[in-house]
Amino acid sequence: HRQEHSVATAIMSEKHLEAGQPLPALKDGSVRLFSMKYCPFAQRPRLVLKAKGIDYEEINCNLKNKPEFLLERHPDGKVPVFEHNGKVVIESNVICDLLDEVYPNPPLYPKDPFEKAKDKIVMETYSSKVIPAFYQAIRSGGQNEEAATKLLAGLTLFDAELKKRGTPFFGGQQPNMVDFNTWPFNERLAVSDPLMDLIKAKLPDLDAYFQRMVANPTVKAIINSKEIYLKFFEGYVTGNYQYDF
Ligand code: GSH
211/203 Cα distance (integer angstroms): 13
Atom index in ligand 1 nearest the CA of residue 39 equals: 15
pLDDT number for residue 11: 59
**pLDDT, tens only, 26-51:** 776 689 999 999 999 999 999 999 99
Average pLDDT, the chain: 93
**Amino acid letter for position 40:** P
Mean per-residue pLDDT, 90-118: 98
- Stretch (H or E) spanning 33: strand 31-35
Instruction: Report phi then psi at 82, rounded to 5.
Output: -110, 140
**pLDDT, tens only, 55-97:** 999 999 999 999 999 999 999 999 999 999 889 999 999 999 9
**Is-contact 244 15, C-beta < 8 A?**
yes
Going along the chain from its start, the domains and CATH numbers come out as 10-102 (3.40.30.10), 113-226 (1.20.1050.10)
206/74 Cα distance (integer angstroms): 36
**Is-contact 130 138, C-beta < 8 A?**
no
Q: What share of the chain is helix, strand, coil (3-state, %, to 5)?
A: 55, 10, 35
List, as one string, the DSSP characters of 73-142. Answer: T-TT--S-EEEETTEEEESHHHHHHHHHHHS-SS--S-SSHHHHHHHHHHHHHHHHHTHHHHHHHHHTTT
**Amino acid letter for position 155:** L
**Is-contact 47 99, C-beta < 8 A?**
no
6/167 Cα distance (integer angstroms): 28
Mean per-residue pLDDT, 105-132: 98
Ligand 1 pocket test, pick from 61, 71, 78 with the greatest ligand atom count within 8 Å of Cβ, gives: 78
Please tell me the residue having the least CA distance from ligand 1 atom 19. Answer: 78
Which protein residues touch ligand 1 with a CB less than 6 Å away?
36, 39-41, 63, 76-80, 91-93
